[in-house]
Amino acid sequence: MNDHKNKLIIFDFDGVLVDTEYTTFSFYKEILPVYGITLKEDDFRYKIGRKSIDFFKDVLGEKFDQKLVDELVEKKRSAFLEDIKKYVKPVSGSFELLEACWHAELKMAIGSQNEKPLIQKSLDIFDIRKYFETTTSLQDIINKKPNPEVFFLVTNTVGISPSQSVVIEDAPVGIEAAKNGGFKAIGITTSFSRENFVLADLIIDSMKEVNPEFLRNFKV
């Protein structure tokens, strides 16, 4: 009987498969002086694992202006979609793990709160679409993490239960969402340090630390 084994690996997108956190911050840092705003390098801590609007609410404070933020976010979207490889960088070992899991016939999916156009274009630019049974994005959900909706969308589509699924996340709120949904959860320290992953079933520092056999047999 192999019913106890994991059949599905759900990857968050940003911070797990690719990295856009710092390039997003650098983009904003470069263009904001035109608007009379200067970001400090230390402000990057407000961006990690968070949507741009939440980042700007923190760093701009009383200068926060929704119209300005909408304009900045749109500029960022356009720039990133125009030149994916400049702004979206593969996380070390991530694409190699996808290839290995694919050959091992482990089903894979993306469960992300990133924006659908960026995810979809990245899949094509990096030629990794074939690995995934399905992908979910910000535009597919009503409730954000730590609500597990984004992961339930995946399991409902693929037809594999949360108990036979492993989620790999780079943010504590993503780990919380996975555990809230009854998934096994692995945290990777690309965006946060180990002490932030108190709810994770396992913490890794690199995607190279796991392989298909390990993921298939991972228990908590």
Task: Provide the CATH number for the domain around residue 138.
Answer: 3.40.50.1000
Is residue 204 situated within a structural domain?
A: yes
Q: Are residues 32 and 109 in the same domain?
A: no
Residue span of the structural domain in which 30 resides: 21-87
Residue of 79, 87, 81 whose CA lies nearest to 31: 79
Q: Report the domain count for the chain.
A: 2
The pTM (predicted TM-score) of the whole model is 0.92
Q: Are residues 112 and 157 in the same domain?
A: yes
Q: Are residues 100 and 153 in the same domain?
A: yes
Is residue 63 situated within a structural domain?
A: yes
Q: Are residues 27 and 63 in the same domain?
A: yes
User: What pLDDT score does 1 carry?
Assistant: 43
Q: Are residues 35 and 134 in the same domain?
A: no
Residue of 68, 78, 6, 21 whose CA lies nearest to 192: 21
Q: Go through 37-49 and write b for each residue having 16 or more CB atoms within 10 A of its CB, e for each that does not.
A: bebeeeebeebbb
**Total length of the chain:** 220
Position 184: which residue type?
Answer: K
pLDDT digit of tens for each residue in the chain (220 aa)? 456 899 999 999 999 999 998 999 999 999 999 999 999 999 998 887 777 888 999 999 888 999 999 999 999 999 999 999 999 999 999 999 999 999 999 999 999 999 999 999 999 999 999 999 999 999 999 999 999 999 999 999 999 999 999 999 999 999 999 999 999 999 999 989 999 999 999 999 999 999 999 999 999 9
**CATH assignment of the domain containing 48:** 1.10.150
Residue of 118, 125, 119 whose CA lies nearest to 85: 125
Last residue of a domain, one of 39, 72, 87: 87
Last residue of a domain, one of 32, 62, 87: 87
Is residue 134 situated within a structural domain?
A: yes
Q: Are residues 77 and 96 in the same domain?
A: no
User: What pLDDT score does 48 carry?
Assistant: 78
Q: Go through 121-154 and write b for each residue having 16 or more CB atoms within 10 A of its CB, e for each that does not.
A: ebbeebebeebbebbbbeebbeeebbbbbbbbbb
Contacts (Cβ under 8 Å, ≥6 apart) of 119 = 13, 110, 112, 135, 137
Is residue 2 situated within a structural domain?
A: no
Q: How far apart are CA 6 and CA 89, in angstroms?
A: 28
Is residue 99 situated within a structural domain?
A: yes
DSSP secondary-structure letter at 91? P
Beta-carbon count within 10 A of 66 CB: 10
Q: Are residues 187 and 138 in the same domain?
A: yes
Cis omega before residue 172 (within 30°)?
no
Q: Are residues 61 and 106 in the same domain?
A: no
Q: Are residues 138 and 205 in the same domain?
A: yes
Is residue 196 situated within a structural domain?
A: yes
Last residue of a domain, one of 30, 56, 87: 87
| Helix 172-180 with 149-158: angle, nearest 10 deg | 50
213 burial via Cβ count (<10 Å: 0-12, 13-18, 19+): exposed
